[in-house]
Structure 1
Amino acid sequence: MYWRCFVGVLNREMLKFWQQRSRLLSALVRPLLWLFVFAAGFRSALGLSMIPPYETYILYEEYIVPGLAAMIVLFNSMQSSLSMVYDREMGSMKVLLMSPVPRSFLLCSKLVANTLVSAIQVYLFFCFALLVDVQLPLMGYVYALPIIALLSIFLGSLGLLLANSIKQLENFAGVMNFVIFPMFFLSSALYPLWKMQEASEWLYKVCAFNPFTSGVELLRFGLYEKLAAKELVIVLVLTLITFTFAVRSFRPKPAASFSTSSSGNSGNSGAGNKGAGNKGIGNKSDGKKQRIKANQQGRP
């Protein structure tokens, strides 16, 4: 039963992703725009020195590839949560709620499907990054896969937590932009933290405490076959916290709609019985009139 439910949710999300070709296109256009266009302008402005995990001086294109890969995961996770709000408004969420499996299993299945979609988009982006001569270690692509999965589950849980607290689709779209852009721009995805510290101390502290920064650095070290232990612990703890709160906040109220429909049905039934009673009274009155008329005709 659990396996069938998992496969059903996975097939549904993959079919939806395959039918939405524009979703894949937009997911690749954003990072490629940064990689091919903005990197050319920032290359001279952000002269990078030798910082971990790099062992030599690097170009700006090579620095931002891990950050852009994390950006793909961020946008896809929030967009997947947006589809959850859409399903709730359209009523298709009730189909999932009719399943006998726990809510936590349903959310896990949706997060796994979101992880698979994110991994497909990220590795397609890595293929395009080869066009600008961004050479990453071959085993780095393998080490990056579990990190992408962990980051996707963390950001997906955060998106589901927001989706559970926001009931209307248009409101969630605004909140999603309010969350995505500060998390992305106030991180080390596009520029190293020491550049931030040179510009502003308080801005550096904000970027350092940004959880997305930990995810970006974890992915950056993984792509170069290294482990960022501190960032790994931070992302693991935040993943457990956000997933727990997402499961607890996922409390739909089908009973309210059921009681409303039941009261409506009982009201309609009462109205029908009342109409039947009125009809019986009318028939009784008509019979009495016919008897009086027959008696009058029978008189001499």
Structure 2
Amino acid sequence: MNFLKFIQKELMHYHRKAIVPLSKTRVKPFDVETMLEEVTRARKTEVKKFHGPDSLLYSAIYPIVFTMKVFGLSPYDFIGDQLTPSNCCLLFTFAFMAIYCHIMYIVYLRFVSLHRNKAILTVVETTKILMVPQVTVNYLVAMYDLVLTIFTRKAFSRIWNAQQDFDERLSQLGYPRKEMNTKIAMWIFLISQIIVWTAVNQTGMYAFNETWLFNTSYMCLYVGTAASVYKFFGMVSFLGQRFHQLNKIAKENLPPRVGYRSSKVSRKVHIIH
């Protein structure tokens, strides 16, 4: 009896849950408008990153960055949110130096042992005379690009980090960058380059009656030098976009006497600081 009384006293501390009839709906109905409002609110409150590997710009161009790393032209990596020179990625640079030397040796032996003229696009070229100097010059340019990449790693990292800081400051002032156009342009450029170099590869195989492996190794020298040009063009384009945006902001915030709207940037800068 005492045990039963003890159990009853303990049960009195717990509230009895109401039993929902089976006829009533237990699941909360789905409200489309409420869900859309929550999704919109979440997107507005989402913090956009301008530093590190998850930044808008780096995420937009990552396929090209990966290609540059494979060719040894991007020996950098992120430590935290800062881009720094990477000794691990530098191994790709030294590896491609060795690959270029090996390719040059094989191509040179092939062209030296070749004693025939080949008509290409109605132009008769003596392969031994014209192609060897061309490949040699391209080899020297490719090696120079890799050496220059090694010695300018720190300078490139400083430029990239300064660019990240610039994007973040503009975002704080209410002018965030949208890299969707950059992402679209990157994919168009990447696909077009794949098509172009594939066409060049197939044309070379047909014209010189070469195997795919030999022609591809021969083309690596040209692709490597082209990639270094693309890298330079990309960085110049990114800096140009930011200067263009900065000039646009300056024009929008000049005093009214110059003919533009009143300045708001100074007040935002004061609030940030």
TM-score category (smaller protein): under 0.3
Q: Tell me which protein shows more helix as a share of its residues.
A: 1
Give 1 or 2: higher strand fraction.
Answer: 2
Of structures 1 and 2, the one with the larger relative CO (CA 8 A, separation 6+) is: 1
TM score, norm. by length of structure 2: 0.28
TM-score, normalised by the number of residues in structure 1: 0.26
